[in-house]
Each structure stands twice: as structure tokens, then as C-alpha cells.
């Protein structure tokens, strides 16, 4: 049977249309798959990715934005971005940024952002305009993230720099004072060199202990051991240290460490540590259990007979003046015939008892 020419052409046209429809369906499925794939990519980004139209109405809100701001994509899409992300105090800045973007100007910077619950946080935002093929502005896309940790780190670094400046300035002042006082108390250049070197070494030991604790505090017993350990013969009799485990804040550790050094040096030159069988006992306690008041006693025994000094040396001036001025201490020096005894009471508003100390 022959098929009319018109029927054949009609069937061919139908087949062509059917093929075209199938290709369009395939392209549509591919387009949908590509959109879903791109959405999954954006959801995997660990930054909030938000797209709006030129007026600021949210068109896209990725998964990270949901966690960062507290709004789900369904809640955010269709609302103005100015209602969702900028903190109240930076709302005008956010409006100015949106106006710039509408003029085609990209923007990047720090701004205070807001969560759904009303809490705010410092954020970094990078926004850029999006154009179609004809050059018409069709959208604005932005990336934002929380920079709280970075800001805290910057503040901590700035604090450390200021603290370092303060410490260096104080240390240089201390070194200058040590140099002047040592020079006045020395009769020869050699005597000055030996005394000055020893005092700077003592200061360095205290600073080393403070460095180990990030300049926060130093255990009082560690401060004592740093000076007295070289004279300990291992008999557990020559050096006795007894008291609760106590942390000295850095502002007290330096002057007290210098005082302990002067007492140790004096004991080695003129007192019990310069004699075979001589002993030094250091006892400390909190006055009536009050953590704000420390009392420590330096007692020398079995050394040479103690005599009143004919002149006031650096050590005496340090104990009586420096400790009193810098730490508010009450210092008593007793030249007992059995051995030098020094009692120091210091207010410890910032001292800390170590947990578990005894």
C-alpha cells in the first residue's frame, strides 16, 4: 500500500517534534541536575553564601548560612537581607553597602552581624554584583563568616604586646636601680662587678620562672629553691622550706625574688650558709588563714655571731624600702645572736592558693 506524500511529511514532522521534546526533557533534567549539584557544592562551603536581588530580597541561602544566622532557607528566602543579618548598631552601614552594590561597586570588610536570637558577633563579608549577558544587574552575591576567634586573638596579642612593653620598662627600671645601689655599696670595681652580676642573674632566674608560667604567677617555694638550692647539701637539715603551696603574682615575684637573693647572698658571705653546719629555715603561712595576707620568716641558725651592721647595704635597703614601697610589706629585721631573723608580712590581693596545696 502506498503512503500519500502528505502523510509521510506529517509523520516525519511528528517524529521531529517528538525528538525535539525528548531532547528538551533531557536538557531540562540535565539543567535540574546541574542546579542541584551546584546547590550541594554551595552547601558544602564553610561560609555563608547568600544571593539577593538588587533590592536585597533573598534568593538563595546556603546550609552554612542557616547555622550561622539561625534562619532556615525557607524562612530567609523572600525576606530582605537587612532584616536578617546586620546588627542594629551597624544597620546604617549595611544600608550604605547595599546602595554601593546597586551601583555596581563590590564591597568587602568587617561588620557586626546578628543571629536570629538577637545575639551579635563580628563578621567578615564580601559582596559582589552579578550581571546578565546584556550587562544588567540581576543579583548580589555575598560570602560571610564569623571572625570572633580572630578578633579575640588580635585583642589577646595586643594585650600581650602592651604587657611586654610594661614588663620590659619595669625590668629596665629595676636593672637601673640595682646598678645604682650596687655602685653606691661597692668599694672596688671588682666588688661592683661581682655583686651586680649576681643580682642580674637572680633577676633572670625569677624572669625564667615567670616565663614558664606565661608571666602569670610563680610558686613561692620555687622562688626560694631557685636561690637556696645551690647551698643544699642533701641532708634535709641545711635548708628547710615549709609552708602552703602558694602562687605569687608576677608583680610580687620580682621584688620578693630579689629580696630572697639578697638574704641568700648575705647568709653565704656573713651568715649561716658560710659556716659548716649552718642552717636556713624559711617558714610561711597565711595570716589567720586569710589568703590576702602572707607572712614569711627567714631564720638563720648555727652561723657566726650576728653583729649590727655599721652601715646600711643594698640588701637592707631592699628589704626595708623596696619591699615596703613596691609590695606594701611590713618588714622586721632582728639581729639575733643565734642568727639573722627577718619577718615579712605582705598583702596578697592577687595571690592565689594552688588547688591541692598543703
What pLDDT score was predicted for residue 355? 36
Ranges in the chain, pLDDT < 70: 1-45, 159-161, 163-178, 180-182, 184-185, 199, 202-203, 205-216, 233-234, 288-291, 308-319, 321-322, 349-358
Look-up: residue for cell 542541584?
A: 36
pTM: 0.48
Distance between CA atoms of residues 257 and 205, nearest Å: 9
Q: Distance between CA atoms of 246 and 248, rounded to whole angstroms?
A: 7
User: Which grid cell sits at 62?
Assistant: 546556603
pLDDT for res 160: 62
- Domains (ranges, CATH) in the chain? 5-147 (3.30.450.20), 151-353 (3.30.565.10)
Q: According to the model, what pLDDT value does residue 302 have?
A: 86
Q: How far is CA 188 from the centre of its chain?
A: 47
For the chain, the straight-line distance linking the first and the last C-alpha, in angstroms and rounded, comes to 115
pLDDT at 351: 43
Q: Write the DSSP assignment of 252-263 as a string of letters.
A: HHHHHHHHHHHH
> Do residues 186 and 192 touch, judged by C-beta distance below 8 A?
yes
Amino acid at each position: 500500500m502506498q503512503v500519500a506524500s502528505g502523510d509521510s511529511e506529517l509523520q516525519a514532522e511528528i517524529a521531529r517534534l517528538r525528538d525535539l521534546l525528548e531532547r528538551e526533557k533531557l536538557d531540562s533534567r540535565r539543567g535540574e541536575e546541574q542546579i542541584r549539584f551546584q546547590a550541594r557544592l554551595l552547601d558544602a562551603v564553610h561560609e555563608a553564601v547568600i544571593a539577593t536581588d538588587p533590592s536585597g530580597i533573598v534568593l538563595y541561602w546556603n546550609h552554612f548560612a542557616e547555622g550561622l544566622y539561625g534562619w532556615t532557607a525557607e524562612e530567609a528566602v523572600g525576606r530582605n537581607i537587612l532584616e536578617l543579618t546586620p546588627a542594629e548598631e551597624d544597620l546604617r552601614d549595611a544600608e550604605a553597602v547595599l546602595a554601593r552594590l546597586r551601583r555596581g561597586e563590590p564591597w568587602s570588610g568587617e561588620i557586626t552581624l546578628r543571629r536570629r536570637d538577637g545575639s551579635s558577633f563580628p563578621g567578615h563579608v564580601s559582596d559582589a554584583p552579578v550581571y546578565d549577558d546584556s550587562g544588567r544587574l540581576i543579583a548580589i552575591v555575598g560570602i560571610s563568616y564569623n571572625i570572633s576567634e580572630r578578633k579575640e586573638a588580635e585583642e589577646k596579642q595586643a594585650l600581650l604586646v602592651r604587657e611586654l612593653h610594661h614588663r620590659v620598662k619595669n625590668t629596665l627600671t629595676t636593672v637601673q636601680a640595682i646598678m645604682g645601689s650596687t655602685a653606691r655599696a661597692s668599694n672596688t670595681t671588682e666588688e661592683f662587678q661581682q655583686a651586680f652580676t649576681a643580682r642580674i642573674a637572680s633577676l633572670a632566674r625569677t624572669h625564667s620562672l615567670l616565663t614558664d608560667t606565661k608571666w602569670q604567677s610563680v610558686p613561692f617555694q620555687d622562688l626560694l629553691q631557685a636561690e637556696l638550692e645551690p647551698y643544699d647539701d642533701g641532708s634535709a637539715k641545711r635548708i628547710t622550706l615549709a609552708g602552703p603551696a602558694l602562687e605569687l603574682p608576677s608583680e610580687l615575684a620580682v621584688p620578693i625574688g630579689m629580696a630572697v637573693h639578697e638574704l641568700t647572698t648575705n647568709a653565704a658571705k656573713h651568715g649561716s650558709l658560710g659556716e659548716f653546719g649552718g642552717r636556713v629555715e624559711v617558714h610561711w603561712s597565711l595570716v589567720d588563714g586569710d589568703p590576702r595576707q602572707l607572712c614569711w620568716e627567714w631564720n638563720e641558725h648555727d652561723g657566726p655571731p650576728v653583729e649590727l651592721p655599721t652601715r646600711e647595704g643594698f640588701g637592707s635597703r631592699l628589704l626595708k624600702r623596696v619591699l615596703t614601697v613596691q609590695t606594701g610589706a611590713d618588714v622586721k629585721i632582728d639581729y639575733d645572736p643565734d642568727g639573722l631573723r627577718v619577718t615579712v608580712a605582705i598583702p596578697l590581693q592577687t595571690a592565689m592558693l594552688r588547688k591541692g596545696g598543703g
